[in-house]
Amino acid sequence: MPTILLGMGNPLLDISAEVPQEVLDKYELKLDSAILAEEKHLPLYKELVDAYKVQYIAGGATQNAIRVAQWMSQTPGSTSFFGCIGKDDFGAELQNCAKADGVNAFYKEDPETPTGTCAVLVKDGERSLCANLAAANKFTADHLASVKAKEMIAEAKMFYIASFFLTVSVESLLVVADHAVEHNKIFAMNLSAPFLIQFFAEPMAQALPYTDYVFGNESEATAYGELQGWGTDIPTIALRLAAAPKKSGTRPRVVVFTQGSEATVVAKEGQVEKFPVEMLEKDKLVDTNGAGDAFVGGFLSVLMRKEGAAMEECVRAGHWASRVIIQRSGCTFPKECDYK
C-alpha cells in the first residue's frame, strides 16, 4: 500500500504513572500542560520508575496522531513517520511499536544520545507531560536527503507535523512544507502547546503560512489569539487564523480547535461551525493523555480516504478516536478498529 500520510516529529517513549499531587508540586508541574524538561525535572523519570507503577507506551504527539490515523485507516502501510531515536532498548521498543501498529517508520538513529522520553503524570484522569527530548532533538534535514526519505516524501499525499518539532529542526519542516506547496499536497500542523506559541513565535510564523489545516485546543487557541492581539474568543481566533496569509492558493485553510468536552470549533472561508462532543460518564475516563493527538489522527484518517470529505465527517471520526483513547491508559487502542 502506498503511503498517503507522512508525519515528522519527536518520537518519545511515554513513562506513564498515576501520582499524588505532591509529585506535581515537587517538580512544579501543572495538569493539562506540556513542557520540555529542565535540569530540575531530570530526577523525575527515575523517581517514577522506582516509586510508582509505570507503563511504557509509544508516544510523541505527531507519532501518536499517525498511529491513530493508521489504525483507523485499516490499511497497513498507509502512513509513515520520520523522527530521531537512540540506539538503545527504548529506541528498539519504539521501532517495535511502529511496526506492530502498521506505521512505516524511518527513524534517524543517534548512537550517542538516548531515546527521548516523556513523563506522563496522571491525576484524576488529567495529565501533565514533561518531555526529555534527548535523541528526538537530534533530527536534522540531512535525513530527508536520503534516497529512502525522498521516495517516502514523494509518495505521500498529506503531511502532518506538530509544532513541538519547531524546537528541533525548522529546516526539516520547511523542506517538507515546500514540497507540499510545490506539489499541491495537504500540509497540516498543530499549535501543540502554549509555551511554543509564546517562545517559538518566530519559527511558528515561518511555518503557519504553509498550512492547509491547523489544529489546536482551547488553551493553545487563546494563547495564539492573545499573542496576535485578536482577543480570547475562540471562534474569532479560528476565523482570523483561517484567513491569514497562505503560501498555496489551491485550497482554503481550515482551522480546528477542540475544547475538551465542549464543542469543537471549525473555521473555513469566513464560516464557523461548532460540533458538539458526545459526553462520557466520568467513571469511564481513564486519562486524557493522547486525546488531542487521537482527534487529529481520526480527522486525518477521513481525509486520507477522501480529500474533499465534509468537515462533519472528519470531526466525527476525530471525536470517536478521542473517546476511545481517553477510556484507556495513554495513546493506546484495541487491535481492531470498529469505527463505522
Count CB-CB contacts under 10 A for residue 227. Answer: 14
Hey, which residues are catalytic here? Answer: 293
Phi, psi at 216, each rounded to 5°? -175, 170
Question: b/e per residue, 142-176, with b = 16+ CB within 10 A?
Answer: ebbeeeebeebbeebbbbbbbbbbbbbbbebbebb
CA–CA dist 177, 188 (Å, integer): 9
Cβ–Cβ < 8 Å for 14, 59: yes
Please name the residues in contact with 29: beta carbons below 8 A apart, sequence gap of 6 or more. Answer: 23, 35, 41, 121, 128, 130
Q: What is the DSSP string of 270-332?
A: TEEEEEPPPP--GGG----TTHHHHHHHHHHHHHHH-TT--HHHHHHHHHHHHHHHHTSSSS-
